[in-house]
Structure 1
Amino acid sequence: MTTYKAIKVAGVAPAERVAVFGIGGLGHLAVQYARIVGGLVTAIDVTEEKLELARALGADDVINASEVDPVDALLSTGGADVAVVLATSSKVFEQAYRSLRRGGRMVCVGLPKDGVFPVPIFDLVLGGKSVLGSIVGTREDLREVFALHAAGRTRVITETRSLEDVRGSMAEVLAGTVPARIVFEF
């Protein structure tokens, strides 16, 4: 529901370029929700496996930020109308903002580790850009998410683990090596 709400907050229109920064538990769903509303999706991550997952879920384009500057790559095609930030790195927030085209909207879902994201005010105002925050969602959003999933419009990618694997699984999440979601069996 978290990324569903972010796509709603962004007001994504058909054929708008949506850049999803961070493909994982939230990002793999953001790719799907942006596609459902007609967005042209570019997935950005630093691991090829997550980018392949994004491709499999319908991303129109992918950018490996460990190999290519995502700002240059996005701006070379006109920039992003919407940048959804799901990572926790301040550098990624800065990259997402700089990748916006005139009038673009940045939706902050992830929280930078240092708690700061400096916004260049002249560029914000003169470029007509917006920086938006989005958190979780409402009961209605949850109902809509369940309806989309029940209709087969989305796939939640999970790996099942035993409860004894909690510590190791948390280490994987913190290291960013989990493809999407971990589900624990009780």
Structure 2
Amino acid sequence: MEAKAYAVHSPTDQFAPFSFERRDPNPNDVVIAIRYCGVCHSDLHTARGEWPGTRYPCVPGHEIVGEVTAVGDAVTRFSQGDLVGVGCMVDSCLSCASCREGLEQYCERFFTGTYNGPTQEGGDNTYGGYSDTIVVREEFVLRVGHDADRLAAVAPLLCAGITTWSPLRHWNVGPGKKVGVVGIGGLGHMGLKLAKALGAHVVAFTTSPSKIEDARALGADEVVVSRNEEEMKAHSGSFDFILNTVAAPHDLNPFAALLKRDGAMTLVGAPPSPHPSPDVGNLIFKRRSIAGSLIGGIAETQEMLDFCAAHSIVSDIEMITMQYIEPAYERMLRSDVKYRFVIDMASMRGAG
């Protein structure tokens, strides 16, 4: 079936209308008319060739919300008209130890990305959500329980939401825990909302005093300006868990020093160059740990969506048209968005 999209054909190209063929649905496939697609920093890095391995033409987009228009004969969980989501994965081997444990993001054969494939069988490139339709196997489709008028703000939950939810759940964030969130951007703002809803005492860390009120509005119980040594020192050795969302190289030592014995700091931002090496003594004398986390499995992504629907949690967004994607990328580079752009795919109609 023909799909309309916006694509880039090289790292220096601008986005332009692009038509291609989606596969005809297999028996276990779900066909989705895309209503909204979030814009992630990963989209920019991939489209502009800043990460290795981009395959052109490139159609990014892995924060997808839409409506089921058709299902294969073997599909049992979805029907025409259902509101659904698709995140960062559209397939995995489903047979390795990680997949069998519901952790498809750590598939030992590597999961198939929603865009910039390759597919599990044949190695074909995949095209993402900057398009009007997508075909996805049932196992990687997620049910959306939010009201229809909030669907646009649900879209970023499929990446920013699950990227922060997965470590919060893995490290047992909840009542009685003191939790820090470093950075108040697309990921950080969701980390604040989710940690607060999970019942933790939440402290936001920012380099910008101008973001203090924003952080409080997002759920922070306290806000620390991380460049202020006295404010940092006041929290020394007091955190159970710190979620570090910053995607730029920075000194991890001041944050590690804030952890209790056995506390953990998890990194979810992927900087373009390594962080300076942390002080090992800062870790071994308190049995502290620095860890990493990558999105989440399908089961925990569904858990996150259900939790967000029950607690009326969505992302803070700015809606754009598909034709505005280049200015949106430039604004993302300047951190000029609160906190996620979402494309209204109705703007694709008549786009070529």
By the TM > 0.5 criterion, same fold? yes
Letter in 2 for 1:15: G
CA shift for structure 1 position 52: 2.5
Q: 2:223 aligns with which of 35, 40, 62?
A: 62
CA shift for structure 1 position 64: 3.0
TM superposition score normalised by structure 1: 0.87
CA shift for structure 1 position 50: 4.0
Q: Which runs of 5+ in 2 are unaligned?
A: 1-161, 346-352
2:283 aligned with 1:127:
no
CA shift for structure 1 position 163: 1.8
2:270 aligned with 1:98:
no
Deviates more, 1:17-26 or 1:78-87: 78-87
Where does residue 175 of structure 2 map in the other structure?
Answer: 14
Q: 1:153 to 1:132 in 2, by over 3 A?
A: farther
For the 8 Å contact 1:44–1:64, the answer to whether it is kept is yes
Where does residue 231 of structure 2 map in the other structure?
Answer: 73
Q: Which has the higher helix share?
A: 1
CA shift for structure 1 position 92: 5.2
Q: 1:53 to 1:61 in 2, by over 3 A?
A: same
**Structure 1: how far apart are the matches of 2:226 and 2:331?**
20
CA shift for structure 1 position 44: 1.4
**Structure 2: how far apart are the matches of 1:141 and 1:91?**
30
Where does residue 165 of structure 2 map in the other structure?
Answer: 4
**Aligned-residue CA RMSD in angstroms?**
2.0
Q: 1:32 to 1:92 in 2, by over 3 A?
A: farther
TM superposition score normalised by structure 2: 0.48
Q: 2:310 aligns with which of 147, 151, 158?
A: 151
**Structure 2: how far apart are the matches of 1:174 and 1:138?**
29
Q: Kindly tell me the number of residue pairs found equivalent between the two proteins.
A: 183
**Structure 2: how far apart are the matches of 1:122 and 1:160?**
46
Q: 1:43 aligns with which of 185, 198, 204?
A: 204
**Structure 2: how far apart are the matches of 1:180 and 1:48?**
17
CA shift for structure 1 position 103: 2.3
**Structure 2: how far apart are the matches of 1:100 and 1:106?**
8
Where does residue 246 of structure 2 map in the other structure?
Answer: 87
**Structure 1: how far apart are the matches of 2:281 and 2:244?**
21
Q: Which has the higher contact order (CA 8 A, sep 6+)?
A: 1
For the 8 Å contact 2:179–2:203, the answer to whether it is kept is yes
Where does residue 322 of structure 2 map in the other structure?
Answer: 163
2:295 aligned with 1:136:
yes
For the 8 Å contact 1:161–1:185, the answer to whether it is kept is yes
For the 8 Å contact 1:10–1:106, the answer to whether it is kept is no
Letter in 2 for 1:76: A
**Structure 1: how far apart are the matches of 2:254 and 2:335?**
19
Highest Rg: 1 or 2? Answer: 2
**Structure 1: how far apart are the matches of 2:164 and 2:279?**
25
Letter in 2 for 1:143: Q
**Structure 2: how far apart are the matches of 1:17 and 1:74?**
15
Where does residue 331 of structure 2 map in the other structure?
Answer: 172
